[in-house]
A and B are shown apart, each in its own frame.
Chain A
């Protein structure tokens, strides 16, 4: 029975290092435990007495920034312990994504600078205009502007390469947090939690404290659901188009009563509304409880998501008109930027958050509640 107490920090000494500062605050939380019922982070904290770097990374990625613990905390500033766990974990979380993304430095650029995301959008759009000019297609609908072969040539690598980088990052994450072999039960547990955004429910369905200070609200949970399901529907729409094309030899354009449109139109609407909602909620929320220094990149990412959704809807609305060409370039430019930046923008959070939920399911299964 030994414990590596050298890991313990002095609760009175604040640190500028994100991992060290998160450790200091987590140790204070573990000595208090009043917040145990809010989310998965606090029961996970009680399973340990000291916290290695990997434990901090796991707890940081498990946190959904609902902020319930901040408003309930008796140790927030001006108390000398100066607790702000949502911010401390957000800082450690962003730090972990930036460490895990290959190559070094790229993630930091896009996480901290909205302008970099905007530049990627402009570049992506310019590339698509150039492609349309250089590679006119021979089909109908938007294939008249850009051929199917050209689309595949651009988007297949733009989809596969970022995914490969994400896989490398997830592997690094899994090693750092000491993850075990994944089984179906863990995946199911994580999928249910992510699908319901259980960790934004406040523990009892009252919601989170994102935009109304100590009052609870479900607004962020609902807006995030709109974004998440909107994105997944859009993705499913594209995937269904691919299946129709290759398996059933049915070429675009598809009518309204087709899988790509029935999935894509509601997806685009949800994505647009959700993104606008998330941006509005952010304006009301206290930035001091969010990720330090990443606000610009986070806003830029939401704008990019919303832009991809809205431009897709407009492209459909403008079908068969002269606007199809320019809108196609804008939409595909947005999607291209979104895909390519997946490992380097806030988009990465979805993958790491899911991994953290899987790891937490494992931890609950193997160690239970202490």
Chain B
């Protein structure tokens, strides 16, 4: 049930108190409540924005042998592990990672039996129908289903309840200081699950970690992941994993909202375009590989450009080659006219386009595959889909880095238990993005965030409940 009277927060001692209200927190709450424990969820966001970044997710990467739910064929442990190894370049913990991979198989039926519905792969994502199970209605539908299940199990949910401090004495958490309605409440509990995400929405922290240019980044997810609990734990000496300076950033439409733009701000035109910075200069091979394998590096590439902005420029022949973008393109009948609308130097942009067009060579252009149609003698080169930008009207989309998540997290063991300066805590577990850096130290694997959240959320809930039983 939803908490109505803030006084109830500090009225007694809860069995399991959960900081956070996204996928991992909900999995933990459901597992704990099913053992009969008295569970409290502290969601920092208001009800309409509940669910953290889980609201923006769309699928769950899952190991399986034979058809499972919407998944076809087989995706075994080794293939999953190799996929993870490739994206993280070894920045992972093999024990934890394999544990997450193995457990994912039994999670899918558990998700279904707790209200989550799956659907066949979405249009345009057929390549994922073996590895990733898509949620019917997306992540917010999943979050809604879990809140309803938790409600039916008697879990209490407090919205707008922001955890300020975890009070720890002698490796044991005693209570949380929780801000609700402008007042600080003492929430006492016997076991605590910390699942309140990373710090990517705290721009000051991001700027301290990454550098001042981070203020120009857009945050793709919830504005409520400010890392308050993470910071508090770090300050108390909790062991961490993951590079504290790094975040996962992709290139998105520069006109996207500062926060919460989510999936619709993605832009898929880069491979069919030339990308220039504010000085109208190209800076990287736009055709290096297919877009699903390259969009993540373009966040960093654009972040390294002056003012953290870039422009992707195509001609009329390319406008129908990619998934629809939610922002209309900026268009003009000449390159000079386009430069004017973008606020770029007309002569510089015209020069860059002229040089690119001159370097293009004849070839068989194939938008759906690496076609090897490359430039000749150009630096940087464009190694695929290099077709002259020559047929008006010309179109442009602006690009900015969009941050998905941060890598810094709490160090946990296989039982999701967090570790303090003097060894494992007695009664603190962590799950979800808050500890994902243990497994995903670099890069990203689609749908794996939800795998980590579900696997370790459930474990944390089970362990916390066993602790108070």
* A-to-B contact residues, CB < 8 Å: 1-3, 5, 8-12, 27-28, 30-38, 43, 46, 49-50, 68-69, 71-81, 203-204, 206, 214-215, 369-370
Contact at A33–B137, with CB atoms within 8 Å?
no
Contact at B136–A38, with CB atoms within 8 Å?
yes
Q: Which chain B positions have C-beta within 8 A of A81?
A: 257, 264
Contact at B137–A2, with CB atoms within 8 Å?
no
Q: Which residue of B lies closest to A72 (CB)?
A: B137
Q: How far is the CB of B27 from chain A (nearest CB, A)?
A: 18
Say whether B262 faces chain A, with CB atoms less than 8 Å apart.
yes
**Which among A27, A49, A73, A204 is the interface contact of B136 at CB below 8 angstroms?**
A204
Q: How far is the CB of B251 from chain A (nearest CB, A)?
A: 15
Say whether B324 faces chain A, with CB atoms less than 8 Å apart.
yes
Q: Which residue of A lies closest to B121 (CB)?
A: A36
Contact at B319–A37, with CB atoms within 8 Å?
no
Q: Which chain A positions have C-beta within 8 A of B317?
A: 1
Q: How far is the CB of A309 from chain B (nearest CB, A)?
A: 36
Q: Which chain A positions have C-beta within 8 A of B257?
A: 12, 79-81
Contact at B138–A72, with CB atoms within 8 Å?
yes
Give the distance in Å from the alpha carbon of A215 to the alpha carbon of B55 in the complex.
17
- The 5 A-B pairs at the shortest CB distance, nearest first, are namely A34-B138, A72-B137, A37-B119, A8-B328, A31-B264
Q: How far is the CB of B257 from chain A (nearest CB, A)?
A: 6
Q: Which chain A positions have C-beta within 8 A of B264?
A: 11, 28, 31-32, 75, 81
Total interface residues on B, CB under 8 Å, equals 41
Known: A28-B326, A31-B264, A33-B124. A74 touches B139 (CB 8 A): yes
Of the 9-residue stretches B85-93, B140-148, B281-289, which lies at the interface with chain A?
A: B140-148
Q: Which chain A positions have C-beta within 8 A of B139?
A: 34, 74
Known: A11-B264, A206-B117. A72 touches B324 (CB 8 A): no
Known: A3-B320, A31-B264. A214 touches B148 (CB 8 A): yes
Cross-chain pairs A/B with CB under 8 angstroms, 6 sampled: A2-B319, A3-B319, A5-B395, A34-B263, A36-B119, A49-B324
Contact at A10–B141, with CB atoms within 8 Å?
no
Q: Which chain B positions have C-beta within 8 A of A36?
A: 119, 122-123
Q: Which chain A positions have C-beta within 8 A of B124?
A: 33, 46, 370
Say whether B120 faces chain A, with CB atoms less than 8 Å apart.
yes
Q: Which residue of B lies closest to A49 (CB)?
A: B324
Q: Which residue of A lies closest to B393 (CB)?
A: A5
Known: A34-B58, A37-B119. A75 touches B327 (CB 8 A): no
Known: A31-B325, A72-B144. A43 touches B123 (CB 8 A): yes
Give the distance in Å from the alpha carbon of A8 to the alpha carbon of B141 in the complex.
28
Give the distance in Å from the alpha carbon of A271 to the alpha carbon of B456 in the complex.
52
Contact at A204–B117, with CB atoms within 8 Å?
yes
Interface string of B313-357 (1 = CB under 8 A from A): 000110111011111110100000000000000000000000000
**Which among B140, B260, B263, B319 is the interface contact of A72 at CB below 8 angstroms?**
B140
Say whether B48 faces chain A, with CB atoms less than 8 Å apart.
yes
* B-to-A contact residues, CB < 8 Å: 48, 55-56, 58, 117, 119-120, 122-124, 135-141, 144, 147-148, 255, 257, 260, 262-264, 266, 316-317, 319-321, 323-329, 331, 395
Contact at A35–B138, with CB atoms within 8 Å?
yes
Contact at A10–B328, with CB atoms within 8 Å?
yes
Q: Which chain A positions have C-beta within 8 A of B122?
A: 33-34, 36
Give the distance in Å from the alpha carbon of A38 to the alpha carbon of B137 in the complex.
7
Q: How far is the CB of B446 from chain A (nearest CB, A)?
A: 14
Q: Which chain B positions have C-beta within 8 A of A77?
A: 48
Q: Which chain A positions have C-beta within 8 A of B138?
A: 32, 34-35, 72, 74
Q: Which residue of A lies closest to B260 (CB)?
A: A79
Contact at A215–B140, with CB atoms within 8 Å?
no
Known: A1-B320, A43-B123, A203-B119. A37 touches B137 (CB 8 A): yes
Contact at B144–A214, with CB atoms within 8 Å?
yes
Q: How far is the CB of A75 from chain B (nearest CB, A)?
A: 7
Q: Which chain B positions have C-beta within 8 A of A75?
A: 262, 264
Q: Which chain A positions have C-beta within 8 A of B327?
A: 10-11
Known: A72-B144, A78-B48, A215-B148. A35 touches B137 (CB 8 A): yes
Q: Which chain B positions have C-beta within 8 A of A370?
A: 123-124
Give the distance in Å from the alpha carbon of A43 to the alpha carbon of B119 in the complex.
13
Contact at B117–A76, with CB atoms within 8 Å?
no
Q: How far is the CB of B317 from chain A (nearest CB, A)?
A: 6
Q: Which of A1, A33, A204 has the most CB of B within 10 A?
A: A33
**Which among B136, B255, B260, B328 is the interface contact of A5 at CB below 8 angstroms?**
B328
Q: How far is the CB of B337 from chain A (nearest CB, A)?
A: 15
Q: How far is the CB of B31 from chain A (nearest CB, A)?
A: 22
Q: Which chain B positions have C-beta within 8 A of A37?
A: 117, 119-120, 136-137
Q: Which residue of B lies closest to A369 (CB)?
A: B123
Known: A36-B119, A46-B123, A214-B148. A11 touches B321 (CB 8 A): no
Q: Which chain B positions have C-beta within 8 A of A27?
A: 324, 326
Q: Which chain A positions have C-beta within 8 A of B325?
A: 31
Q: How far is the CB of B286 from chain A (nearest CB, A)?
A: 19
Q: Which chain B positions have C-beta within 8 A of A32?
A: 138, 262-264
Q: Which of B262, B324, B325 has the most CB of A within 10 A?
A: B324
Q: Which chain B positions have C-beta within 8 A of A2?
A: 316, 319-320
Q: Which residue of A lies closest to B120 (CB)?
A: A37
Give the distance in Å from the alpha carbon of A10 to the alpha carbon of B56 in the complex.
21
Q: Which residue of A lies closest to B328 (CB)?
A: A8
Q: Which residue of B lies closest to A11 (CB)?
A: B326
Q: Which chain B positions have C-beta within 8 A of A369?
A: 123
Q: Which chain B positions have C-beta within 8 A of A80?
A: 257
Q: Which chain A positions have C-beta within 8 A of B117?
A: 37, 204, 206
Q: Which of A12, A32, A46, A71 has the most CB of B within 10 A?
A: A32
Q: Which chain B positions have C-beta within 8 A of A34?
A: 58, 122, 135, 137-139, 141, 263
Q: Which residue of A lies closest to B324 (CB)?
A: A49
Give the distance in Å from the alpha carbon of A32 to the alpha carbon of B135 in the complex.
13
Q: Which of A11, A43, A69, A78 has the most CB of B within 10 A?
A: A11
Give the distance in Å from the alpha carbon of A68 to the alpha carbon of B145 in the complex.
12
Q: How far is the CB of B146 from chain A (nearest CB, A)?
A: 11
Give the distance in Å from the alpha carbon of A1 to the alpha carbon of B316 in the complex.
8
Q: Which chain A positions have C-beta within 8 A of B321?
A: 1
Q: Which residue of A lies closest to B266 (CB)?
A: A31
Give the distance in Å from the alpha carbon of A369 to the alpha carbon of B126 in the complex.
12
Give the distance in Å from the alpha carbon of A190 to the alpha carbon of B304 in the complex.
54
Q: Which chain B positions have C-beta within 8 A of A204?
A: 117, 136
**Which among B56, B260, B319, B328 is the interface contact of A1 at CB below 8 angstroms?**
B319
Known: A5-B329, A5-B395, A79-B260. A33 touches B123 (CB 8 A): yes
Contact at A74–B262, with CB atoms within 8 Å?
yes
Give the distance in Å from the alpha carbon of A1 to the alpha carbon of B321 in the complex.
8
Q: Which chain B positions have C-beta within 8 A of A69?
A: 137
Give the distance in Å from the alpha carbon of A35 to the alpha carbon of B135 in the complex.
9
Q: Which chain B positions have C-beta within 8 A of A49?
A: 320, 324
Q: Which chain A positions have C-beta within 8 A of B141?
A: 34, 71-72
Extra inter-chain contacts (8) besides given A32-B264, A370-B124, CB under 8 Å: A3-B319, A5-B328, A5-B329, A11-B264, A12-B255, A12-B257, A36-B123, A74-B56
